[in-house]
Amino acid sequence: MPVVELGPERCDALLRFFAALPEGDLTFIKEEVTDPDTVHSWASGPASGGRWVAVDDEGADDGEVTGYVAVRPLPGWSDHVGEVRLVVAPTRRGTGLGRELARRALVEAVGSGLTKLVVEIVAEQGAALALFTDHGFTGEALLTDHIRDRSGRLRDLMVLAHHVQNTWAGMDAVGVADELSAP
């Protein structure tokens, strides 16, 4: 399943992807991903770049989107840091797609000069925690009762970080170093 950079031709498929996510998944996405103006701005405005989608049909411009990953550089004095945002269709979880998307984010972020990546994960999301720790992310913070889900329940938020220079050996172990040096 190809992972391609988000372009205008994929926005409608991405909107369908987000609209089909369970309500619980939407709770933990920071941006208003079901708003067409928001999603279309990602592919054409100043916020473009640093976003990729997994698509079922590589040949079709509007093939089914089954996963999304973004690396958003932080502003100002943290402009060396990128925040990773990743979501996979419920029907594709456990298939390795999340791992492929995380690897793409890591490769692209390092290639663009970012030296640290962070990802925020709800503490109960064990599979997401395993996915990112397998890619060299380590815990930096546990924020107790930091987020409220749509039913009003408070949840803990974990912040994981990947320090590029400190974890190069880990990147090499998962094949990222080879991808960075490939032509």
Q: What is the CATH number of the domain that holds 50?
A: 3.40.630.30
- At 60 the pLDDT is 53
* Average pLDDT of the segment spanning 146-165: 89
Where is pLDDT greater, at 168 or 71? Answer: 71
Q: Report the distance separating Cα 171 and Cα 100, nearest Å.
A: 13
Q: Is the pLDDT of residue 25 over 90?
A: no
Query: Which of 45-49, 102-106, 164-168 shows the lowest per-residue confidence on average (mean pLDDT)?
Result: 45-49
Give 93-117 pLDDT, tens digit per residue.
999 999 999 999 998 888 888 999 9
Split into its structural domains, the chain has a count of: 1
Q: Is the pLDDT of residue 42 over 70?
A: yes
CA distances to 66, 118, 126, 147, 156 from 86, rounded to whole Å, are: 11, 12, 14, 18, 18
* Average pLDDT of the segment spanning 71-83: 93
Look up residue 85 and give its amino acid. R
For residue 86, give its domain range: 3-181
Where is pLDDT greater, at 35 or 58? Answer: 35
Longest CA span, the chain: 49
- At 84 the pLDDT is 94
